Copies of this chain bind each other. A is one copy, B any other.
Amino acid sequence: MRKHQFAAALAPALLAALSAPLGAQETEAPTPTSIVKAAPESDWKQIAAEDLLVMDLAPDAGGEPRRVVIQLMPGPFSQPWVENIRTLARAHWWDGLSVYRAVDNWVAQWGGGEGEGFNPPALPEGVVSPVRDYTIPADRILTPRVWTNGAVGDFEQAVAPFRTMKADAIWTARMTDPYASFYAFADGFPVGLGLTATPDRRPVPHGPDLAWPLHCYGSVGVARDLAPDTGTGSELYAVIGHAPRQLDRNIAVVGRVIEGIEHLSTLPRGTGGYGVYETREEDTPIVSVRLASEMPEAERPEFVYLDTASESFARYAQVSANRSDAFYTVPAGGIDVCNLKVPVKRVGED
């Protein structure tokens, strides 16, 4: 039927983009979706309830609920801000505040705001702007947690898993990045690595052997004033456009939206300075922000992500970088780290 043909026009890519649960037929070429669907249960890892931030916005114009679920960044990255965020959530600090800024192809931002028209409550005790520490020594993650069993600092061992992939294109696919020596994944999050021992020995401006979290679509970061201020985490933004990677190492990345990003990405864009809404009436009210661990157990949302150290994820990456199926006739031979989206799903979802 032509309709289905038409619907399939962008389908393989669409499915990849959405990690949608439709599987390919056995006889069809593998797609990122079919690989994710075939991943054994043991390759999925549960996200801890204290790492889930549940933000309920006011219902939309049609009365529909708007829930945004954020997975907080695991250690060792950005933990001082993540701790602030947990403190703010436990204090119900965001309840009654708003999403007050939206800029196309950039960010939607929420919290208490600042300046005329804003009147945020005092911050809970202990919530202060942490010292600037956006990167960590790479040897803190260059362990089995980064696609490798290599010893810390042993580059040959560290990259061995990549070398088992087919052809240079895969190597490049995995690691070429304009903003880092190469990229990798740690505990389900994409990270940049600045290493001295990379094949291209690409210089990293601020010291070798560092690792840092990345700004991709859906990433949540800590808004701040001019440097050296680092923000507290009370004002947060989510990326709703092309990955603004130039913010990496300049801002604390504290997590990512794993459900409900459309409630932020479809908001009207602000027409005031820097995309802040001109009046508070245009803001979207926040009803509540809770850690899942503080919600009654029966109400807690539960999610799993595909273990980025698993064979399934390696295969997913390989196929994503080399799409070759009924729709794609020219494999890219590479993939941008932010297009290699870590699959996340609700517990029990197919």
Contacts and interface: CB of A to CB of B under 8 A. Distances in A.
Given A250-B328, A334-B178, A242 B244 contact: no
Contacts of A173: 178
Interface residues of A, number: 91
A168 B237 contact: no
Interface hub of A179, A204, A339 (most chain B Cβ within 10 A): A179
A245 B104 contact: no
A141 to B, nearest CB: 19
A191 interface: no
Interface in A123-142: 132, 134
A8 interface: yes
Determine how many copies of this chain the complex contains: 2
Given A217-B241, A225-B9, A242-B242, A250 B114 contact: no
A243 B330 contact: no
A226 B331 contact: no
A113 B9 CA distance: 11
B246 A103 contact: no
Contacts of A10: 106-107, 223, 237, 274
27 contacts: A3-B114, A7-B276, A8-B225, A9-B235, A10-B223, A11-B274, A13-B247, A14-B103, A14-B106, A14-B274, A17-B103, A17-B241, A17-B244, A18-B104, A104-B266, A105-B218, A173-B178, A179-B333, A204-B333, A205-B331, A226-B326, A242-B339, A244-B339, A246-B332, A250-B328, A266-B266, A266-B267
Central interface residue in A178, A228, A242, A247, by most chain B CB within 10 Å: A178
A5 B266 contact: no
Nearest to A8: B226
A2 B114 contact: yes
A217 B242 contact: yes
Nearest to A329: B227
A4 B276 CA distance: 12
A48 interface: no
A262 B329 contact: no
Nearest to A3: B115
Interface in A315-336: 320, 323, 326-336
Contacts of A244: 13, 17, 339
